Chains A and B, each alone.
Chain A
Amino acid sequence: MLVWSRPGRIVIWLVFTLLFGVLFLAPLAVILLSSLADQWNGVLPSGLTTEHYSDVVQGAAWKAVKASLVTGFLASAVALVSGTWAALALRIQDATLARVLGVLFFIPSAVPSVSVGLGLLVAFSHPPLLLNGTIAIVMVAHFVLISAFTFGNVSAGLARLSPDFEQVASSLGARPAYRLRHVTLPLLAPYLVAAFGLSFALSMGELGATVMVYPPGWVTLPVSIFSLTDRGDVFAGAALTMVLVAVTLILLLGLERVTGRQARS
């Protein structure tokens, strides 16, 4: 405890409440409120309605939810496989090469997402590699952007893994494939689940690359939120944002419970 006097502490907590309230709590609260707002001309909405949410369940907004979920799931699954594969394969390289390749696998997270989208447009707009105008180019963009995060999470998990189990397994004569399936991957499972959850969440909120490459008919949640608010339909945009927040939080909390249970058992 740094501050001992009671008034001093109360002043400091007030500062905290103010900062936290203005910066973090108010934005979430106001989005929730506006997603339920009937009309909003004064300080508070004139009435509350669930109409914006029932619009989401029908119509174009539901297609956006579906597009985001499918894109997020597929991109995260591929990123999980390739990130885990890369992290495992880097362990058996010599140290210098492993360090250089490790940085290369991280670089997609450092490049602006709009440029990733631009690169895909430039590279894959001509046969034989024609992806422009297909759903696949959206998946590829999401995969590239989240691959660094899955790779990073799995690498961090591998670094924390005690080498003892694997050494015991191989000294007992387990072949590498058997050791990987029955020792390394189960030990790594909590990190894999966490990596999948985080990349799914990142994919759900991705805007910069998607807005560059998306074909008509595959409008993800962030893109459709942008077009709604850009048209001035802010309440529908807020309702869709709440859906996005809810899905993201369910993903993160649900996966946290799964990993928590695995860690305990």
Chain B
Amino acid sequence: MADAAVLPAPAAKRVPGRFWIVPPAALLALLFFYPLVLIVQQAFMDDSGMANVGEFVRVLHARFFLNALINTITISVTATAGCLIVGLVLGLILAFVPFPGSGVIARLIDTFIALPTFLVTLAFTFLYGSAGMLNAGLTEAFSLQAPPVNFLYSTWGVVLAEVTVYSPFVLRPLLAAFSLVDRGQIEAASVLGARPFRIVRQVILPAAVPALIAGGSLCLLLTVNEFGIVLFIGAKGVITLPLLIYSKAIQESAYQVACIIAVINIALSLGLFGLYRFAAGRLGA
């Protein structure tokens, strides 16, 4: 009743208010979408300004590009799988086998989202680098000649760093989903003699699937776009698409090649963004 009396008033004012969206939209169009269009334009144009896909096709078939593409996808998929496993294990324990202080720990892990990603890589060089703590310890303990642990400067180093940085993005929606699971159902199941593994599989996991899909697709997107971790590891064999864009543009001043790679990287990212929006939309529904 009250609504009926109030609603017509804003509806009448709707028409002039519509233009308020123009200033922020124009700002974003100038500073973000216009440069984006220019990247696409540069990718498909030769020096004389004519449309030309020759260079695009050449880069697409180039060894350095294919290697970077394969690296990017392998790292992204492996790291996302790792994030899902770590996020699920941490989430299950935090939600269903809580201990004193688990709330504080959950919030601590959450603040990792705000920290710069390269922090973890820098820490890993101290921990697992060729002169790091682990190698120093092992060389001393077993009097070895060469450092035994050297996964850091390979794709595995990047994957481990990305799992650390991005598993909070799985944990966050997962804990939200777990908080909705009926505790009485779990207690009833375990009183009736169901083993924890079975309860996880039949009661908890079905409730967590949307959160896992949303968190996983966000991880795919973020790991495809990740730059700092790969740059800081600085391994010659580990080049991903964002790193290739950087080295082509800044180190070689090959702007057209950089734009071509950027177009492909952006297309890949936007596809994953669509996947994430779709998954997150279903999570909200």
Contact = CB atoms under 8 A, between A and B. Distances in A.
Given A43-B140, A89-B20, A2 B196 contact: yes
Given A89-B21, A115-B266, A170-B10, A31 B227 contact: no
B118 A225 contact: yes
Contacts of B90: 16, 19-20
Question: Could you say which of B28, B39, B225 has the most chain A C-beta atoms within 10 Å of its C-beta?
Answer: B28
B114 A248 contact: yes
A241 interface: yes
A110 B259 contact: no
Interface residues of B, number: 95
Nearest to B234: A230
Contact of B96 (A2, A40, A245): A2
Interface in A206-242: 206-208, 211-212, 222, 225-226, 229-230, 234, 237-238, 241
B105 interface: yes
Contacts, number: 258
Contacts of A16: 89-90, 93-94, 99
A101 B5 CA distance: 30
Contacts of A110: 221, 225, 269-270, 272-273, 276
Interface stretch (A57-65, A117-125, A181-189): A117-125
Contacts of A66: none
A2 B190 contact: yes
Contacts of B13: 92, 176
Interface residues of A, number: 88
A116 B5 CA distance: 48
B42 A93 contact: no
Contact of B266 (A101, A112, A171, A237): A112
B5 A86 contact: no
B233 to A, nearest CB: 11
Nearest to A29: B123
A143 B42 CA distance: 24
Interface in B27-47: 27-28, 31-36, 38-39, 42
B136 interface: yes
Contacts of A205: 114-117
Interface of A: 1-4, 8-9, 12-13, 15-16, 19-20, 23-24, 26-28, 30-31, 33-34, 40-44, 82-83, 85-86, 88-90, 92-93, 101, 103-108, 110-116, 118-124, 140, 143-144, 147, 167, 170-171, 176, 198, 201-202, 204-208, 211-212, 222, 225-226, 229-230, 234, 237-238, 241, 244-245, 248-249, 252
29 contacts: A1-B98, A2-B199, A13-B97, A24-B164, A31-B123, A34-B126, A82-B24, A86-B28, A92-B17, A110-B221, A111-B225, A112-B262, A114-B243, A118-B262, A120-B35, A122-B38, A123-B38, A147-B28, A167-B2, A167-B3, A170-B9, A171-B6, A207-B116, A208-B225, A208-B242, A212-B249, A222-B118, A230-B234, A241-B119
Given A19-B90, A121-B249, A222-B118, 19 more contacts: A3-B97, A9-B97, A13-B99, A24-B108, A24-B112, A88-B20, A89-B17, A104-B33, A112-B265, A113-B242, A115-B262, A116-B32, A116-B35, A119-B38, A122-B38, A124-B35, A176-B13, A201-B114, A225-B118
